[in-house]
Amino acid sequence: FNILTAGGFLLSAVLSAVVMVSGFLTFGGAADGYILNNYATTDKLAQLARLAIGGSIVTTYPLLHQGLRDTVQEALAQNGVTASRQSITFTMVLSIMLVGMKLTNLGVVAAVSGALVSTSLVYVLPSIMFGQMLAARKDKSSVAKLELLGSRLITILGVFMVAVGMKAAF
């Protein structure tokens, strides 16, 4: 299992590096945020890539939307607000459509997603959960206090990284 997992990650890293280096060597620093915009509209492979990205978005969206919609509905219910699935779906799709009509650079979407979601999942949320667990234990030992301090420092670092990422995105 470990060899297969490490091999999969290594192969993924190598392929990503090859694609990134190829894109940079092809376009240099003048590359558009959405790399496929750098190719001619008549380029057959670029058209195929655009079609594949569209297919990926169309088939992935329902999975992500359902989870978000259910979470929003549960959060509203916990606050005493009742809303139908249809009204939540309509509001979410309308909001996403309006944002999509306004944004023309997918690089901004990727940067915001990376800054908010990825950094929060890696640094902020785990350190908050770990800190809450440590605080609930009420362990007064010096090791526990040091762990709690480390957890809070990682949370602060994560929030700072979110801010820097958001600033860089805009």
pLDDT of 75 strictly over 90: yes
Least confident of 37-41, 94-98, 103-107: 103-107
40: left (phi over 0), alpha (psi -120 to 50) or beta: beta
Average pLDDT over residues 65-81: 92
pLDDT of 157 strictly over 80: yes
Q: Which of 14 and 116 is assigned the larger pLDDT? A: 14
The whole-chain average pLDDT of the chain stands at 89
pLDDT of 144 strictly over 90: no
Give the model's pLDDT for residue 19: 85
pLDDT of 23 strictly over 90: no
pLDDT tier for residue 159 given thresholds of 50, 70 and 90:
very high
Q: What is the DSSP string of 72-107?
A: HHHHHHHTT----HHHHHHHHHHHHHHHHHH---HH
Q: Which of 161 and 112 is assigned the larger pLDDT? A: 161
Q: Are 69 and 92 in contact (CB under 8 A)?
A: yes
The Cα 160–Cα 169 span in angstroms is 14
The Cα 106–Cα 143 span in angstroms is 45
Give the model's pLDDT for residue 165: 87
- CA geometry: angle at 163 spanning 158 and 164, to 5°? 95
* Nearest in space to 24 (alpha carbons), one of 38, 40, 43, 10: 38
pLDDT tier for residue 21 given thresholds of 50, 70 and 90:
confident
Residues 24-56 pLDDT 10s: 888 887 777 677 888 899 999 999 999 998 898
Task: State in Å, rounded, how far the first CA of the chain is from the last one.
Answer: 41
CA distances from 142 to 2, 37, 147, 154 (A): 35, 56, 9, 18
pLDDT of 76 strictly over 90: yes
